[in-house]
Amino acid sequence: MTPKMLLLPILLPAVLAVVLLLLPRALRLLRDILAVAGAGALLYYAFVFFSVKDLRLAVPWLGMGIDFDLRLYHFSSFILLALAGFLLLITIYTTVRMKDAPRGREFMAYVFLTAAFANGAALANNFVPLLFFWEGLLVTLYGMITIGGRPTSGRTAVKALLISGFCDFCMILGIGLLWSVAGTSTMSDISVEPTGLAAVAFVLMMIGAAGKAGAMPFHTWIPDAAVDAPVTFMAFLPAAFEKLLGIYLLARISLDFFKIRPGSGLSLLLMIVGAVTIVLAVLMALVQKDLKRLLSYHAVSQVGYMILGIGTAIPVGIAGGIFHMINHAMYKSGLFLSAGSVEHRTGTTELKKLGGLGREMPLTALGFTVCALAISGVWPLNGFVSKEMVFHGAVETGSTIFAIAAWVGAIFTFASFLKAGHSVFFGERSKEVPAVKESQPAIVLPILVLAGLCVLFGVYNKLPLTLFIQPILQGRGEAGAHVDFTAHALAVFNPVALISIGCLVLAFLLHAYGFRKGGRKAYLASEPIHNLPGMHQAYDLAEKRVFDPYDQGLKVIRGLSLGLFKGIDRPIDFFFEKIVTFTGAKFTGILKKAHNGHYANYLAWCLAGLIILAGLIGLLAQ
């Protein structure tokens, strides 16, 4: 295992992406085989790397202390492994799901390109390579959304790009500041106190990381993309890869680069971002009428838990956040994939049109249900474990308000999934959709694998916690204390867990009430909340995108641009085009008028000139 091997997770998918792109359409089978094999190889190597855990490649690159520096250690190897796992599943799924899509070949290439960039970002141990890979994701992000092929796809792609780009640019600035403060760009050498400029750097880098993860207020492209982009993309990037990377970086920032302490201002800031994201996004999710949009809002909402967890700066909270990251990636991918499966067969994801599909698509329904329960935090699934850890962390900080926010989130999460599951797979069979079959194995398999993992990570939470999470936090908390979160992971009889379970019950009641109120139509189950006084108006405004920072930001940008154009650029042009020429013409006009062709006039000038000159010479000579 030489350090050069570290290039493999980057180069292999990149090369594969090029190959896939260049393979002619006729060789589709070869393409699929190559893709799956490649992804499998990557997963294999990820395991190998995971077992090695400690490897570093540093070659001089740009000078000025900027090396091409890759470092494999427990955290990055964990992320690498997770990325590879998702890649394999998505690849398998894609081979079928994107088979007839007009730009399917391109999509596959993008997938591998994304994997290359993501692996690079996870491995990077220097800011410049980090940024290189991190921002490189923008390209594939843009490309994949446009593949959606809807008229608005392009616009949504630009939106995603702009928002992500904005976050990335913030991160560049943050990195620049941190670099100045720390004096080095090697990530493993950096650990600074978050004060003064460093605090600014932290906030900026946090924006970058949280933006990638899709936290509020940088989330608004995700629901749009849910509609405009291929659903595979949703399962792939916003649900899995971006969460992994974003939270990975956020954890690195908060744990390594900056010494964030519980109760400090920055910790509080993170927690506020987390809590706000949880509540607002879930409220939006609750009222969605489209499965993909609903899921996408949850993808946002769940980020809140992770940020909240990390923001507590308490080991259990951080561990919860990171664990939630991996869990979320699993069940959210599973959910999107099942939504994709439904869409694959029925051609729609609108809740209103769907219903009672459970019988025809039992495996999809099963996968969906497990994942939905996991995301809702139902005992003993993985979501329960990680959420509990976050709740504990939040409670431990002493600011119970954040814990309450998280619980509120939990209520609505479950409520909305009750609504979604109920309307799609259970209840009456909808008449708008013709009879369907279960999807192909290649589609169902990844869903079931993910569902299985959800169960595994919940029931046997010791495995991920000891294998993945605890090494990351080793050495934090009280000095020398051994970190162990497995003890009370599935414990039910403690106040926190009881409250959580109470929340779930409340959610069930809410759904039941709404279901009855809505004339036994599941998709209307959230209407009572939707129609609450005050809420309704807020929702309407939200639908009009009043709260969308992107739209507002665009307005600002347009206004600013117009202002700059009309206020500075055009006046300058006016100055050159009109004022200068006008002044010239004016002077010229006056002088031309003076030259009236009369000789006496000219003679008079001469004589006047003579007198003036004589006077002038007389004056100057003295």
Partner 1 sequence: MSNTWYLYLFFAAALIGAGVLGLLGKRNLIKLFIAIEVLGKGISLILMGTGLAKASLLTAQALVITYIVIEVSLVATALALIINVYRQTKSLDVRGLSKLKG
Partner 2 sequence: MNVETTVLLTILVPILGSFAVPLFGLAAKRARSAWAVLVSGLTAVLPLTLLPFALQGGEQVIRKPLVQGFDFILVVDPLAVFMAAVSSFIGFLIVVYSLGYIRHEENQNEYYLMVLLFIGSMMGLVFSGNLIFIYLFWEIIAIACWRLIGFYREPAHVRKADKAFLLTFFGAVVMLLGFVQIYGVTNTFDITAMRGTLVPGTAVLLILFGLFSKSATVPLHTWLPDAGVAPTTVTALLHAAVLVKIGVYAFARLFIYTFRLPDGWREALPIIVMISSLVAAGAAAVETDFKRILAYSTVSQIGYIFLGFSMMNAAGVSGSVLFILMHGLAKAGLFLCAGIVIHAVHTKDIREMGGLIKTMPVTAVAFLVCSFSVIGIPPFGGFFSKFLVILGTVQGGRPWVAAMALFTAVLTMYYLFKVFSMVFLGEAKHPAPEGTKSMVYVVAALAVLSLAAGLFISYPMKLANIATTQMSWWLR
Partner 3 sequence: MIILFIVLPLIVAGLLPIIGKVSRRVLPDALANATLLALLVYAVVAGRGLIADGPVLQQLSWLGEAVNVRLALDGFSLFMLMAVSLVGLAAGLFSIDYMEHYGAKANFYALYLVMIAGMNGLILATDLFSVYVFLEVAAIASYALVAFGLGRDELEAAFKYLMLSVVASAFLVVGIAVIFGLTGQLDFAAVAAGLKEVNAGPVLGLVTAFFLLGFGLKAALVPFHAWLPDAHPSAPAPISAVLSGLLIKVSGVYALTRIFINVFGLTPALSAVLMALGAVSIVVAALLALGQKDMKRMLAYSSISQVGYIVLGLGIGTPLGIAGGLFHLFNHALAKGLLFLTSGSVQQATGTRDMDEMGGLAKRMPVTAVTNLIGSLSIAGVPPLNGFWSKLIIIVALVQAGHPVYAVIAVLASVLTLWYYLLMQRKAFFGKLNEKWAAVKEAPFWMTAAVVLLALLCVGVGILFSSTVTTWIQPAADILADGVHAATGSWGF
CA pair distance 490, 485, nearest whole angstrom: 10
Amino acid at 171: M
Residue 519, binding choice from partner 1, partner 2, partner 3, none, Cβ under 5 to 8 Å by partner class: none
Stretch 60-79: interaction string toward partner 2, x if CB under 8 A? xxxxx---------------
Q: Which of 32, 69, 135, 290 binds partner 2 (CB under 8 A)?
A: 135
Beta bridge partners of 69: 58
When the beta carbons of 34 and 158 are compared against partner 2, the nearer one is 158
Is the separation of the CB atoms in 329 and 267 below 8 Å?
no
By CB under 8 A, what part of segment 358-377 binds partner 2? none
- DSSP letters, 476-544, are -SSTTPPP---TTTT--SSHHHHHHHHHHHHHHHHHHHHHHHTTT-GGGTTHHHHTSTTHHHHHHHHHT
Burial classification of residue 155, based on how many CB atoms lie within 10 Å of its CB (0-12 exposed, 13-18 middle, 19 or more buried) = middle
Site for partner 2 in 165-184 (CB under 8 A): 165-166, 169-170, 172-173, 176-177, 179-180
Look at residues 225, 421, 241 and name the one whose alpha carbon lies nearest to residue 330. Answer: 241
CA angle 167, 171, 174 (to 5 degrees): 140
CA dihedral over 574, 576, 580, 585, signed as positive or negative: negative
If one asks whether residue 24 binds partner 2 (CB under 8 A), the answer comes out as no
Q: Which is nearer to partner 2, 111 or 444 (CB)?
A: 111
Beta carbon of residue 619, minimum distance to partner 1 (angstroms, whole number): 23
Residue type, 162: L
Task: Tell me: does residue 576 bind partner 3 (CB under 8 A).
Answer: no
Q: Which of residues 191-250 bind partner 2 (CB under 8 A)?
A: 197, 200
Tell me the C-alpha distance between 13 and 385, whole Å.
33
Q: State yes or no: residue 19 binds partner 2 (CB under 8 A).
A: no
**Residue 568 binding: pick among partner 1, partner 3, partner 2, none (C-beta 5-8 Å cut-off by kind):** partner 2
Give the count of residues interacting with partner 2 (CB under 8 A).
Answer: 49
Q: Which is nearer to partner 3, 505 or 608 (CB)?
A: 608
**Choice between 143 and 427, CB closer to partner 2:** 143
Alpha carbon distance 434, 356 (integer Å): 12
Q: Residue 256, Cβ neighbours under 10 Å: how many?
A: 14
169 binds, among partner 2, partner 1, partner 3, none (CB under 5 to 8 A by kind): partner 2
Cβ atoms 336, 412 nearer than 8 A: no
Candidate residues 57, 79, 109, 161; the one interacting with partner 2 per rule CB under 8 A = 161
CB of 560 to partner 1, least distance (A): 48
CB 609 to partner 3: min, Å: 4
Point out which span in 53-61, 107-115, 288-296, 603-611 binds partner 3 (CB under 8 A). 603-611
Tokens of 411: 């209520």
- C-alpha to C-alpha distance for 204 and 211, rounded to whole angstroms: 10
Tokens in use for 437? Answer: 């079959």
Residue 613 contacts partner 3 per CB under 8 A: yes
H-helix or E-strand spanning residue 269: helix 265-286
**Closest by alpha carbon to 424, among 324, 332, 288, 313?**
288
Q: Least distance (Å) from partner 2 to the CB of residue 561?
A: 4
Q: With binding defined as CB under 8 A, does residue 138 bind partner 2?
A: yes
Residue 602 CB, shortest distance to partner 3, in Å, is 4
**Cα angle for residues 492, 498, 501 (degrees, 5° grid):** 95
CA distances from 611 to 435, 595, 600, 601, 616 (A): 110, 20, 16, 15, 8
- Identify which range of 168-176, 269-277, 341-349, 607-615 contacts partner 3 by CB under 8 A: 607-615
Close Cβ partners of 166 (under 8 Å, ≥ 6 residues apart): 211, 218, 553
- Whole-number Å distance between alpha carbons of 309 and 458: 18
Closest CA to 526 of 271, 310, 317, 351: 351
If one asks whether residue 592 binds partner 3 (CB under 8 A), the answer comes out as: yes
* C-beta closer to partner 1: residue 582 or 602: 602
Q: Which does 162 bind (CB under 5 to 8 A by kind): partner 3, partner 2, partner 1, none?
A: partner 2
Q: How far is the CB of 569 from partner 1 (least distance, A)?
A: 36
List of residues contacting partner 1 (CB under 8 A): 592-593, 595-600, 603-604, 607
**Do residues 412 and 305 make contact, with C-beta atoms less than 8 angstroms apart?**
no
Does residue 7 touch partner 2 according to CB under 8 A? no
Q: Which tokens belong to 414?
A: 């479950």
Within 8 A by CB and 6+ apart from 366, the residues are: 448, 451
From the list partner 1, partner 3, partner 2, none, pick the one residue 557 interacts with, judged by a Cβ distance below 5 to 8 Å according to partner type: partner 2
From residue 288, alpha-carbon distances to 158, 192, 422, 529 in Å are 23, 43, 14, 12
The option from partner 3, partner 2, partner 1, none interacting with 616 (CB < 5 to 8 A, set by class) reads partner 3
- Interaction pattern, residues 280-299, with partner 3; x per rule: CB under 8 A: --------------------
Residue span binding partner 2 (CB under 8 A) among the ranges 292-300, 316-324, 506-514, 575-583: 575-583
- Does residue 587 touch partner 3 according to CB under 8 A? yes
Residue among 191 and 601 whose Cβ is closer to partner 1: 601
Query: What values do phi and psi take at 214, rounded to 5?
Result: 95, 30
- List the structure tokens of 418: 């009750």
> Is 579 an interacting residue with respect to partner 3 (CB under 8 A)?
no
Tokens of 617: 């010479």
Burial class for 621, CB neighbours closer than 10 Å (0-12, 13-18, 19+): exposed
Check residue 603 for interaction with partner 2 (CB under 8 A): no
Nearer to partner 2, 204 or 314 (CB): 204
Contact set with partner 2 (CB under 8 A): 60-64, 128, 131-133, 135-136, 138-139, 146, 151, 154-155, 158, 161-162, 165-166, 169-170, 172-173, 176-177, 179-180, 197, 200, 554, 557-558, 560-566, 568-569, 572-573, 575-577
Residues that bind partner 3 (CB under 8 A): 584-585, 587-589, 591-592, 595, 597, 599, 601-603, 605-606, 608-610, 613-614, 616-618, 620-621
